[in-house]
Amino acid sequence: MFFPNEVERVLKSEDEIKRRVAEMGRMLTEEYSGKNPLFLCVLRGASVFFADLIRNVECPLEIDFIRTSSYVGTNSSGDVSVEENIPDIQGRDVVVVEDIVDTARTLSKLKTVLQGMKPSSLKFAVLLDKPSRRDEELADFKADFTGFEIEDYFVVGYGLDVDGKYRNLPYVGVLKN
Ligand code: IMP
Ligand code: MG
């Protein structure tokens, strides 16, 4: 298996991720049974998780893609932008799929923008959450579906990158610092 020098250790193995994503798929299947939800993938970090997750959801969903940006290297710039090109979500049951919640600035900004577009419902599914990274203002921010809560490590793999690299690792690994 590809194990780059910059990676210190595996935090979540391929198997562990697979099992958890299947569980999340079952929860989403239950939540959206009889509905036609729109799953929105936040590019690019959520792409790998998204592809696996939607194949574990058993209802006639649709997919689309949006993009946000805030990170330079391993530091959030704090200045989050959401790409203009958001699909029409009015009246839809929307599930935003993201790789990780860190300070939660990205998702809370996205939440405000998407709420303004009048979806019928709006929920967030994230693979990873680092709750210790929130400052006071966003301390209560919580995704509706979370794969794993993790400590404050910078992680790569399974879609997550450092400067564009290592998204292709099949596991989530801790970056050496
Ligand atoms: P937030 O706005 O601080 O919650 O940051 C969320 C975004 O930062 C995520 O969408 C990721 O792209 C990126 N990010 C946060 N922590 C990590 C990490 O440990 N590894 C890779 N990317 C991360
Ligand atoms: Mg991201």
The CATH number given to whatever domain includes residue 171 is 3.40.50.2020
Q: Please give the single-letter amino acid code of residue 120.
A: S
Question: For residue 137, what are the β-bridge partners?
Answer: none
pLDDT > 70: percent of the chain:
94
Query: What's the angle, vertex CA 36, arms to CA 109 and CA 50, rounded to 5?
Result: 55
Atom of ligand 1 nearest to the CA of 68: 10
Give the three-state DSSP class for 39: strand
With 70 as the cut, is the pLDDT of residue 96 above it? Answer: yes
Query: What's the angle, vertex CA 152, arms to CA 146 and CA 156, rounded to 5?
Result: 75
Q: Give the mean model confidence (pLDDT) for residues 148-159.
A: 98
DSSP one-letter code for 43: E
Ligand 1 pocket test target in 65, 100, 113 with most atoms within 8 Å of CB:
100
Q: 161 C-alpha vs ligand 2 centroid, how far in Å?
A: 9
Catalytic residue list contains 99: no
Tell me whether residue 142 is in a domain. yes
DSSP one-letter code for 109: H
Atom of ligand 1 nearest to the CA of 80: 2
Tell me whether residue 91 is in a domain. yes
Tokens describing residue 40:
């929105």
Tell me whether residue 2 is in a domain. no
Q: Give the mean model confidence (pLDDT) for residues 90-118.
A: 95
Ligand 1 pocket by Cβ (under 6 Å): 45, 70-71, 76, 98-106, 154-156, 160
Q: Which one of the listed residues 102, 140, 144, 161 is annotated catalytic?
A: 102
What does the H/E/C string look like for 164-176?
Answer: CECCCCCCEEEEC
Counting ligands in written order, which one lies closest to the CA of residue 100?
Answer: 1
Give the count of domains, the chain: 1
Q: What is the pLDDT of residues 34-79, one digit of tens each?
A: 999 999 999 999 999 999 999 999 999 999 999 987 655 666 656 6
Range(s) of the domain holding residue 91: 7-175
pTM (two decimals): 0.95
Q: Are 68 and 82 in contact (CB under 8 A)?
A: yes
DSSP codes, 101-149: ESSSHHHHHHHHHHHTT--SEEEEEEEEE-GGG--GGGTT---SEEEEE
Tell me whether residue 119 is in a domain. yes
pLDDT level of residue 157 (50, 70, 90 thresholds): very high
For all residues of the chain together, what is the average pLDDT? 94
